[in-house]
Structure 1
Amino acid sequence: MCGLAGILQSQARLQEAELAALAGAMGDALAHRGPDDRGVWADAGAGVALAHRRLSILDLSPLGHQPMASSDGRYWLAYNGEIYNFATLRAELEPLGHAFHGHSDTEVLLAAVVQWGLEATLRRCNGMFAIALWDRREQRLSLARDRVGKKPLYYGWAGDTLVFGSELKALWRHPAFDNGIDRDALTLLLRLDYIPAPHCIHERAFKLMPGRVLQLDAAAVAAGAAAHRPAQAQVAYWDAPSRMAACLATPFAGSAAEATDALDARLRQAVALRMVADVPVGVFLSGGTDSALVTALMQAQSMAPVHSFSIGFEDSDHDEAPLAREVAAHLGCDHTELYVSGADALAVVPELPVMFDEPFADASQVPTALVARLARRGVTVALSGDGGDELFFGYTRYQRALRNWRALQRVPAPLRRWLGRRARAQGEDSRAGGLPALLAEAGASGIGDVYRNRISRWRDPAAVVRGAREPATFYSLPDPLQGQGTAADAMMLADFTTYLADDLLCKVDRTSMAASLEARAPLLDWQVAEFAWSLPLAMKLRDGTSKYLPKQVLRRYLPDAMVFRGKRGFGAPVTQWLRGELQGWAGDLLDPRRLRQDGVFEEAAISTLWQRFGQGERKWHTHLWNVLMFQAWQAHWQAQRAQVRAGRPRPAFTGQQGAVG
């Protein structure tokens, strides 16, 4: 796992040494993603430079150094990720005349691009990646991201220069990156706790969408420099809504037993591919269905005990460590757990802006950071159970939304519209439950409206951010599947394309990379995803039991008592924190004078909720936490930019701050 950064000028005007130094500084901001090696390549005549930081996983020798040139000299590549099926691709390429000097997947990826072209290669790849590829013959830069969005890739404009990188902290190192706050994007943070692609907290900066290739030359950079929208020259080599629709059109026709066999086989292969590494490999184990399933399949294919890791919380309802310990003991894993106090968790909070460098408010970021640090003590790669809920109907909110939508469909449409108008007058009080909450869903015209209400934090965030208009997202669609599939399929697709990529995978990527740890998610193998989309709802939800089919697979490895037990969230006691140890920190960030001086928020609305929360009202912690995450991030960003302007950028995040134990 690695970090990449780079530059493409609209007009070449720097000497090679200057260009390389600038790109190198951008890459050095990502040293935590790749502490093992550093590389820079620049072509001053073309105005392009690539930088790379390497975390060595496959081929630990210098033969895996990046940026790497293709054997014919046409391409230069900086790449972050893993191509899990690289051995199969190599076996196809060798008879076609390609010779390999090492055994890295980077060398295979370049040879595949030479042989088949970039888009055709990506369709053959099974992996997680972000790619920057310079074509010297065509004088063209290609940026690409994996199908699901496991690896991040930001791009934007610094003056009239394109800058890109694995994290925003790389873009900040360019002295001309003075892009302000995108207030429209900020409204999405308030609604969702994260900012979904293609949006970014900065103006004139964006996230590349999953499954996309963006191609730019100098002329396109010049044209895009004045635009305030994502670059248009994008090609989708894999598109989740289209693929889901195709899978629904050709549904799995076998029995539940046959489906269990098929899922078991696909998951075994996905897990086996992700166990390949030249460094120690382990697994995050929470004790829930998904992580237990991944752990069981790892142990079933390993000759030695699998290294499993879990975090326990002292005096907390969020403690899953006993469940994980029980599963690990039954499977015979080499299990490590660490109990942390509230003080240990709270010590992570000041580091969150450094870790994420875009405001991010999923509070489970704190325990995720702690378990990543724990795992890094023993392994360099850790598998996770991410993706099971979105593919196999795992969230209880899905069932509640279906129940409410069925009830609403019995209400005449004119009455629903009238109720919807009444709901808008309730404002943020609809978050507090009771009649206002019921009214908030009453005006729904489709399952998408019901579901958006259930997952929203602020109900009207544009009313809180000065001068903002909330952009449309996948959650804005009344029917995300546009008439295809069921309401259940539509909700799972909305989460797969948005929440999974921009919340869960972002959280795991930033926290694991901050510890120089590579995280892999076998449940998100694209072939597993497409198989899941072909299954009827009855194989995901049966007799009130969610994730029915994965649990049938898990029963082959664990006793029923460990398989069928209530779901627990991997969260954090934010209410307790804000009324306790973090009260002073929060009060400073939410001070009305500070809010008024910043001029971003309507301070009266924020102050009112902070007061009501202090008086004991429930649920406002979610509204307040995402405002606090923005406030903390803004202070960090301003300090970083001041350092760059002064020519003294701060050292890159090392990932070792606040380590527990």
Structure 2
Amino acid sequence: MCGLAGLLLPSPGRQEEQLAALAAAMGTAIAHRGPDDSGTWVDAPAGVALAHQRLSILDLSPLGHQPMASVDGRYVLAYNGEIYNFSQLRGQLEALGARFRGHSDTEVLLAAFSAWGVEESLRRCNGMFALALWDRSERCLWLARDRVGKKPLYYGWAGDTLVFGSELKALWRHPQFDNGIDRDALTLLLRLDYIPAPHCIHERTFKLMPGRLLRLDAAAVAAGASSHQPELAQRPFWDARERMRAALAAPFAGGDAEAEQRLDELLRDAVGLRMVADVPVGVFLSGGADSSIVTSMMQAQSTRPVHSFSIGFEGSHHDEAPLAREVAGYLHTDHTELYVNGADALAVVPQLPAMFDEPFADASQVPTALVARLARRGVTVALSGDGGDELFFGYSRYQRALRNWRMLSRVPLTLRRSLARLADGQGEASRSGGLAALLAEMGARGIGDVYRNRVARWRDPAAVVPGARAVESFYHLADPLEGAGTPADAMMLADFVTYLPDDLLCKVDRTSMAVSLEARAPLLDWRVAEFAWSLPLDMKLRAGVSKFLLKKVLLRYLPASMVHRGKRGFGAPVTAWLRGDLKSWAGDLLSPQRLAAEGVLDAAAVAQVWQRFGQGERKWHTHLWNVLMFQAWQDYWRQSRAAVRGDG
């Protein structure tokens, strides 16, 4: 895994040495993503510079150095990721006459661009990636991100210059990047705990969406951010909604046995592809179905014990370490387990703003950071079970939303709308449950509205951010599938395109890359996703058993006692923290005087929630954690900018 950064000027205006120094500084800011090697490439007459930080995984020799130029000299690439089917692509390219010096997937990717063009090459790739590709012939920059959104890519304007990179830290190093806080985007953080692409916490700054390709040239840069429309400019080479609709239109026609065999074959191949590396490979093992099936298939394809890692929490009622230990013992993996206490977890909290460098408030970021740190002691690559819940109906909130939607559907729409008006003006009261929560859902137009209430934190975030407009996300669609599929499919799609890349995969990317660890997710192989979408709901939820087919496959590897057990999740005791060791820290960040002086959040609205929490209303910890993560991030951002300007 690696990190990339760079810039493109609206017209040539800097000397090569200046561009190289600036690109190198941007790369150095994300050196943790790739500590093994670094490089820059500059074309001063074109006004472009690329920087790369390398974490060596395939071809550890200098032949894998980046930025790398294609053999024909047309393309120059800075690339973050892995193309898992690079050997297959290499064989196809060799048949066309291509010749290779090393055995890195970067070299294969460049040859593919020369042979097939950019968009067609990306369609042929099975992998995770974010890339910046300079086309010397067309004098344009291509930015691209993998289908699911495993790897991040930010871009924006610093003055009149386009800057881009794997993390915001890289963009911050440009001396003209003084982009303020996007208040509208902040409402997304308060609602969801994260800011989904293409939005970003900064004005004039964007995230590339999963499965998207963006072409930029000097004219587009000169036009500036005000004319840039990311939803239109970022064109899909793979669109999850369209692929799901196609899968639903051609559903799997076999029975349980055929589906089980097909899923087993797909998953084994996906796992096997992700075990290829020139460095040690391990697995995150929680003991749940998703990580257990990945671990089982790794061990089945390995000639020696697989390295597995789990974290345990002292005094916790949700400790998964014993489950992981049981699975590891049955599979005979080389298992490493670390028990941590509250102090160990809380020590991570001050590091979170620097780790994520965009405000992010999924509190499971803390245990994820701890298990990534543990794994890095023994391996450079770790596989995870991410994606199983979104593809195989694993969340209990799906069932609750379906129940609520069925009940609402029995009430005439006119009556529901009248009742919904009673909820107007209640603001955050609907978050506390009871009648207020029920009334808030009465006006639902479809399953999308009901499900949004399952995942939302602040229900009226614009009321907390003066001057902001509440931005809508994919969760605001009444029917995300636009008439195709079932309400269950619609909820899984919403999570797949929003929660999965912008929360779960962001969390894993930042926590793993903070310790220079590459994380791979076999369940998110696009072939597995499209097969899962073709399955009827009965193969995902049957007789109250969620992830039914996935667990049927797992029963081939583990006994039933290790497969059929309750989901515990991977969370953090935020309520206990905020009432205990973090109370003083939180009180300082939430001080009305401080909030009023900063002028971003409504001090009275935040103070009311902090007071209710102090009175014992447990549910408010979700509201408070995203405010706290934003406040802590503001401190970090100000310090970072002061360091770049040299006034701090």
TM range (shorter): over 0.9
Aligned twin of 1:364: 364
Q: Give deviations 1:18-57, integer Å, cap 9, x for gaps.
A: 0010011000001000000010000110000000000000
Residue 612 of structure 1 and its aligned partner are, at CA, apart by: 1.1
Which stretch shows the higher mean deviation, 172-181 or 420-429?
A: 420-429
Do 1:321 and 1:337's aligned partners in 2 also have CA atoms closer than 8 Å?
A: yes
**Mapping for residues 431-580 of structure 1, pairs under 5 Å:** 431-580=431-580
Residue 318 of structure 1 and its aligned partner are, at CA, apart by: 2.7
Residue 96 of structure 1 and its aligned partner are, at CA, apart by: 1.1
In structure 2, what is the Cα distance between the partners aligned to 1:421 and 1:327? Answer: 52
Q: Give deviations 1:128-182, integer Å, cap 9, x for gaps.
A: 0001000001100000000000000000000110000000000000000000000
The letter for the 2-side match of 1:214 is L
The letter for the 1-side match of 2:93 is L
Aligned twin of 1:200: 200
Q: Give deviations 1:108-135, integer Å, cap 9, x for gaps.
A: 0000000000100000000000010000
SS of aligned partner of 1:32: helix
Aligned twin of 1:182: 182
Aligned twin of 1:618: 618
The letter for the 2-side match of 1:177 is F
SS of aligned partner of 2:100: coil
Residue 424 of structure 1 and its aligned partner are, at CA, apart by: 2.7
Which stretch shows the higher mean deviation, 258-267 or 217-226?
A: 217-226
In structure 2, what is the Cα distance between the partners aligned to 1:234 and 1:601? Answer: 31
Do 1:132 and 1:142's aligned partners in 2 also have CA atoms closer than 8 Å?
A: yes
SS of aligned partner of 1:152: coil
Q: Give deviations 1:572-617, integer Å, cap 9, x for gaps.
A: 0000000000000000000000000011111101001111111111
In structure 2, what is the Cα distance between the partners aligned to 1:80 and 1:576? Answer: 38
In structure 1, what is the Cα distance between the partners aligned to 2:375 and 2:423? Answer: 47
Q: Does 2:63 correspond to 1:68? A: no
Do 1:420 and 1:439's aligned partners in 2 also have CA atoms closer than 8 Å?
A: yes
Aligned twin of 1:657: none
Structure 1 residues 108, 358: CA separation in 2 closer, same or farther (over 3 Å shift)? same
In structure 2, what is the Cα distance between the partners aligned to 1:597 and 1:548? Answer: 53
Do 2:299 and 2:305's aligned partners in 1 also have CA atoms closer than 8 Å?
A: yes
Aligned twin of 1:389: 389
Aligned twin of 1:328: 328
Q: Give deviations 1:620-657, integer Å, cap 9, x for gaps.
A: 00000000000000110011011111188xxxxxxxxx
The letter for the 1-side match of 2:551 is K
In structure 1, what is the Cα distance between the partners aligned to 2:526 and 2:230? Answer: 26
Residue 228 of structure 1 and its aligned partner are, at CA, apart by: 6.4
Do 1:203 and 1:228's aligned partners in 2 also have CA atoms closer than 8 Å?
A: no
In structure 1, what is the Cα distance between the partners aligned to 2:240 and 2:211? Answer: 8
After superposing on structure 2, the runs of 4+ consecutive aligned residues of structure 1 that deviate more than 4 Å are none
Q: Does 2:152 correspond to 1:161? A: no
SS of aligned partner of 1:423: coil
Do 1:430 and 1:437's aligned partners in 2 also have CA atoms closer than 8 Å?
A: yes
Aligned twin of 1:25: 25
SS of aligned partner of 2:31: coil
Residue 97 of structure 1 and its aligned partner are, at CA, apart by: 1.1
Q: Give deviations 1:466-520, integer Å, cap 9, x for gaps.
A: 1001112110001000111000000000000000000000000000000100000
In structure 2, what is the Cα distance between the partners aligned to 1:422 and 1:624? Answer: 26
SS of aligned partner of 2:38: strand
* Aligned residues: CA RMSD: 0.9
The letter for the 1-side match of 2:502 is D
Aligned twin of 1:430: 430
Aligned twin of 1:656: none
The letter for the 2-side match of 1:162 is L
Do 1:448 and 1:491's aligned partners in 2 also have CA atoms closer than 8 Å?
A: yes
Do 2:198 and 2:231's aligned partners in 1 also have CA atoms closer than 8 Å?
A: no
Residue 435 of structure 1 and its aligned partner are, at CA, apart by: 1.1
In structure 1, what is the Cα distance between the partners aligned to 2:71 and 2:231? Answer: 30
The letter for the 2-side match of 1:612 is R
Do 1:224 and 1:231's aligned partners in 2 also have CA atoms closer than 8 Å?
A: no
In structure 2, what is the Cα distance between the partners aligned to 1:38 and 1:540? Answer: 45
In structure 2, what is the Cα distance between the partners aligned to 1:233 and 1:184? Answer: 20
SS of aligned partner of 2:45: coil
Residue 380 of structure 1 and its aligned partner are, at CA, apart by: 0.1
Structure 1 portions without partners, runs of 5+? 649-661
In structure 1, what is the Cα distance between the partners aligned to 2:139 and 2:65? Answer: 23
**Mapping for residues 34-433 of structure 1, pairs under 5 Å:** 34-227=34-227, 229-230=229-230, 232-433=232-433
SS of aligned partner of 2:150: coil
SS of aligned partner of 2:32: coil
Residue 229 of structure 1 and its aligned partner are, at CA, apart by: 4.3
Aligned twin of 1:655: none
Q: Give deviations 1:384-419, integer Å, cap 9, x for gaps.
A: 000000000000000000000000000010111112
Q: Give deviations 1:512-545, integer Å, cap 9, x for gaps.
A: 0001000000000000000000000000000010
In structure 2, what is the Cα distance between the partners aligned to 1:440 and 1:292? Answer: 39
Structure 1 residues 179, 167: CA separation in 2 closer, same or farther (over 3 Å shift)? same
In structure 2, what is the Cα distance between the partners aligned to 1:199 and 1:6? Answer: 20
Percentage of identical aligned residues: 77
Do 2:401 and 2:451's aligned partners in 1 also have CA atoms closer than 8 Å?
A: yes
Aligned twin of 1:631: 631
Residue 618 of structure 1 and its aligned partner are, at CA, apart by: 1.4
Do 1:58 and 1:103's aligned partners in 2 also have CA atoms closer than 8 Å?
A: yes
In structure 1, what is the Cα distance between the partners aligned to 2:382 and 2:630? Answer: 30
SS of aligned partner of 2:163: strand
SS of aligned partner of 2:292: helix
Residue 425 of structure 1 and its aligned partner are, at CA, apart by: 2.5
The letter for the 1-side match of 2:588 is D
Q: Give deviations 1:73-117, integer Å, cap 9, x for gaps.
A: 111000000000000000011121111000000000000000000
The letter for the 2-side match of 1:255 is G
Q: Give deviations 1:414-463, integer Å, cap 9, x for gaps.
A: 11111222223221111111111111111111000000011000000001
SS of aligned partner of 1:557: coil
Structure 1 residues 619, 4: CA separation in 2 closer, same or farther (over 3 Å shift)? same
The letter for the 2-side match of 1:163 is V
The letter for the 2-side match of 1:206 is F
Structure 1 residues 225, 160: CA separation in 2 closer, same or farther (over 3 Å shift)? farther
The letter for the 1-side match of 2:426 is Q
Q: Give deviations 1:234-291, integer Å, cap 9, x for gaps.
A: 3211000000000000000000111000000000000000000000000000000000
Which stretch shows the higher mean deviation, 414-423 or 392-401?
A: 414-423
Structure 1 residues 449, 226: CA separation in 2 closer, same or farther (over 3 Å shift)? closer
Which stretch shows the higher mean deviation, 314-323 or 155-164?
A: 314-323
TM-score normalised by L of structure 2? 0.99
Do 1:596 and 1:603's aligned partners in 2 also have CA atoms closer than 8 Å?
A: yes
Structure 1 residues 612, 647: CA separation in 2 closer, same or farther (over 3 Å shift)? closer
In structure 2, what is the Cα distance between the partners aligned to 1:357 and 1:85? Answer: 32
The letter for the 1-side match of 2:371 is V
The letter for the 2-side match of 1:579 is R
In structure 1, what is the Cα distance between the partners aligned to 2:229 and 2:429? Answer: 34
The letter for the 2-side match of 1:274 is R
Residue 231 of structure 1 and its aligned partner are, at CA, apart by: 7.4
Do 2:208 and 2:234's aligned partners in 1 also have CA atoms closer than 8 Å?
A: no
In structure 2, what is the Cα distance between the partners aligned to 1:77 and 1:295? Answer: 34
Do 2:209 and 2:234's aligned partners in 1 also have CA atoms closer than 8 Å?
A: no
Residue 230 of structure 1 and its aligned partner are, at CA, apart by: 2.5
